[in-house]
Amino acid sequence: MILDFLIGVLIMNALPHFVLGITKTRFLGMFGYKPTANIWYAVVQFVLALVIFHIQHGIETILTNGIFLGAACTCLLFLIFGKTILKFYQNK
């Protein structure tokens, strides 16, 4: 249960750090205040959450865990499309 809580904290904390990093907002993360540091911190948290999930449940069960899968997909979509979405809406 503690590892599941840690997985949730890591994956959901990755999202604001990534968003603040791509918007170049000065925000303290584990690697400092710079936007690039926050982006890397988000990526590290996302990967660490996946590793702990694999250790706790096995990666093959990821498709049956709807809560984790939803959170992971949201973070992954921001990691992939975040800058593009930000540029699209800034131009309007």
Secondary structure (3-state) at 29? strand
Contact 68, 62 (CB under 8 A): yes
Strand partners, 29: 32
SS3 15: helix
Percent of the chain whose predicted confidence (pLDDT) is above 90: 25
Evaluated on CA atoms 82, 84, 87, 88, the torsion sign reads: negative
What is the average pLDDT value for the chain, to the nearest integer?
A: 85
What are the boundaries of each domain within the chain?
2-90
**pLDDT tens sequence across 23-50:** 888 888 888 889 999 999 999 998 999 8
Q: Residue 92: its pLDDT value, please? A: 62
